[in-house]
């Protein structure tokens, strides 16, 4: 073929395009630096791919009779859970690498997953992940509905953790007894009951437009549970000492505020706002004091969630002065996270990861990054250009960059040069502390004869796709050993927070000003 001739004026047009293009890019970068908007799609593919992987772990953890099972090595399990109380508690999700159903962290999983859907559902939908997220959420809330058969009664655990941890078997082959544990007025647990109320209230918003009947059912349970938690106060792990070795609660005040905040968003009933701004807020909110968001401490999440009211209204909300205290505390938290802030925490590894605990080390960094993305987008959506941290000011993009630093560490930008998200990239943990993943699907095991699979020096025969392992040591090291539960065991609640974080980073976008 002959050489294709360029039309007259091509060079001149090209020069104009380059100049205008450069100007446009400069405007995008300048505007983006101020308001947190970057070139759309610049990093979205990486986070989109990671989100698709992370979503699989909820399917890995499902209990009960599996519908449209997407995990080839999983099958029906725990079909008789709840039978002793004439209840169907077969659904829900296994907590981590074991076969326990712990209501406290499971409800937190549901609340955070709901929050992620409410804020970033459009991003999920663009990747065909919204419906899977809603399906996973409903798998938990179906269980929680059945776990609340009476007004002042909530079943908060299925299985005996001591007996459960004496076994190494597949969930499909479990033979050990599955006793039930509940809280009542005589043995109250305001923390776990209020967290369950938060899960129901937030999920009611998720299903409001697509399944109004189910949404109303959830909201009714949420309001009833909040009354139970508020009127019969007590810490569940004090009243039921047997749970202290696993999910010991440090108090219930944060859960009461967290639940009331979600109920306000779900109902617009001002009495819930009055609850968080009144005496209970003054007693439990610890305004001005930053803490770490986790399954046990809901205060950071509450501060960020209630800052929505300050950012977006309604302006006639009662006691806006105390509402502003939540936003101010959220700002203190954000300032502690930003590495260049005068009040930045020094608790970080050499590789740049926030460092709080050697157990499940990724929990607080991922949760903090999720809150940072949310707050960044609240600023963006409200036209708030600056966050004041003592003598310095920061933009929404600074918060986003912090969040990106944490998620990139998780996905491989770390001294180990490995992904801590199983199934993502070419290098990720092969010896995840997870019973089902460690035992071949065609193996016949019972409680005692499955231990050989724990001790095996071969990689897991099944990939626990989407599992977010515990994480590295303070020196940025990771020992990939099945016996290393401290670093190698995943959990559903950490996965929920990570899904929220990834959903917020998929594209440069704002959040809805109201949950409809």
Q: How far is CA 264 from CA 166, 280, 363, 382, 459, in A?
A: 43, 15, 27, 20, 48
172 is catalytic: no
HSE, CB side, 13 Å, CA atoms: give it for residue 324.
4
433 is catalytic: yes
CB atoms within 10 A of CB 242: 12
Which burial class, exposed, middle or buried, applies to 426 when counting CB atoms under 10 A from its CB (0-12, 13-18, 19+)? exposed
Short-list 181, 53, 12, CA closest to 495 = 53
56 is catalytic: no
- Taking the C-alpha atoms of residue 5 and residue 16, their distance in angstroms, rounded to an integer, is 20
**Cα radius of gyration (the chain):** 24
122 is catalytic: no
Beta bridge partners of 101: 158
Q: How far is CA 338 from CA 14, 146, 383, in A?
A: 42, 42, 20
Buried-exposed string 246-256: b where 16+ CB fall within 10 A, e elsewhere: bbebebbbbbb
Q: Which residue has the tokens 């004091």?
A: 289
| The length of the chain, given as a count of residues | 516
Q: How far is CA 246 from CA 229, 242, 294, 349, 493, in A?
A: 21, 9, 14, 27, 14
Beta bridge partners of 158: 101, 180
- Taking the C-alpha atoms of residue 31 and residue 36, their distance in angstroms, rounded to an integer, is 8
Q: Which two tokens stand for residue 2?
A: 């002959």
Among residues 56, 99, 433, 434, the one annotated as catalytic is 433
Q: Which two tokens stand for residue 70?
A: 């997407």
Among residues 59, 95, 98, 119, the one annotated as catalytic is 98
Alpha helices in 147-278 (DSSP H): 161-164, 190-206, 212-231, 236-239, 244-247, 253-267, 270-277
Q: How far is CA 201 from CA 112, 116, 478, in A?
A: 12, 14, 38
Q: Catalytic residues, which ones?
A: 98, 433, 480, 489
């Amino acid at each position: 073929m002959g050489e294709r001739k360029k039309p007259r004026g091509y060079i001149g047009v090209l020069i104009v395009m380059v100049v205008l293009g450069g100007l446009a890019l400069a405007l995008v970068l300048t505007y983006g630096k101020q308001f947190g908007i970057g070139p759309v799609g610049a990093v979205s593919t990486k986070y989109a791919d990671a989100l698709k992987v992370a979503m699989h772990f909820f399917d890995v953890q499902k209990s009960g009779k599996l519908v449209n099972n997407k995990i080839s090595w999983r099958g029906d399990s725990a079909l008789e859970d709840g039978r002793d109380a004439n209840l169907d508690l077969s659904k829900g999700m296994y907590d981590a690498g074991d076969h326990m159903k712990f209501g406290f962290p499971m409800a937190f999983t549901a609340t955070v997953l709901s929050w992620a859907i409410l804020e970033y559902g459009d991003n999920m939908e663009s990747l065909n992940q919204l419906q899977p997220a809603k399906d996973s959420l409903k798998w938990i809330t179906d269980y929680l509905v059945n776990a609340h058969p009476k007004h002042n009664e909530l079943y908060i655990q299925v299985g005996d953790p001591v007996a459960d941890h004496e076994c190494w078997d597949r969930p499909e082959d479990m033979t050990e007894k599955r006793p039930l544990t509940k809280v009542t007025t005589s043995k109250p647990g305001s923390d776990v009951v209020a967290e369950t109320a938060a899960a129901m209230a937030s999920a009611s918003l998720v299903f409001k437009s697509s399944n109004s009947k189910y949404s109303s059912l959830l909201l009714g349970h949420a309001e009833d549970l909040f009354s139970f938690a508020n009127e019969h106060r007590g810490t569940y792990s004090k009243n039921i000492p047997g749970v202290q070795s696993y999910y010991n609660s440090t108090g219930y005040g944060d859960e009461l505020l967290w639940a009331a905040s979600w109920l306000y968003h779900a109902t617009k009933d001002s009495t819930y706002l009055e609850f968080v701004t009144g005496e209970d807020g003054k007693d439990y909110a610890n305004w001005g004091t930053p803490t770490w968001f986790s399954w046990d401490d809901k205060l950071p999440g509450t501060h960020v969630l209630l800052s929505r009211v300050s950012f977006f209204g309604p302006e006639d909300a009662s006691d806006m002065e105390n509402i502003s205290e939540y936003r101010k505390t959220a700002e203190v938290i954000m300032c502690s996270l930003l590495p260049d802030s005068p009040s930045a925490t020094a608790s970080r590894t050499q590789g740049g990861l926030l460092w709080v605990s050697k157990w499940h080390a990724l929990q607080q960094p991922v949760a903090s990054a999720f809150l940072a993305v949310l707050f960044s987008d609240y600023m963006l959506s409200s036209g708030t250009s600056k966050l004041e941290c003592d003598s310095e000011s920061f933009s929404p993009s600074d918060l986003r960059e912090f969040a990106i630093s944490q998620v990139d560490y998780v996905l491989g930008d770390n001294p180990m040069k490995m992904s801590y998200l199983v199934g993502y990239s070419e290098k990720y943990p092969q010896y995840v502390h997870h019973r089902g993943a460690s035992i071949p699907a065609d193996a016949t095991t019972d409680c005692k004869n499955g231990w050989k699979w724990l001790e095996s020096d071969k990689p897991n025969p099944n990939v626990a796709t989407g599992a977010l392992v515990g994480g590295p040591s303070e020196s940025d090291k990771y020992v990939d050993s099945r016996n290393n539960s401290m670093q190698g065991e995943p959990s559903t609640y950490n996965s929920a927070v990570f899904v929220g974080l990834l959903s917020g980073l998929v594209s440069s976008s704002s959040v809805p000003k109201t949950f409809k």
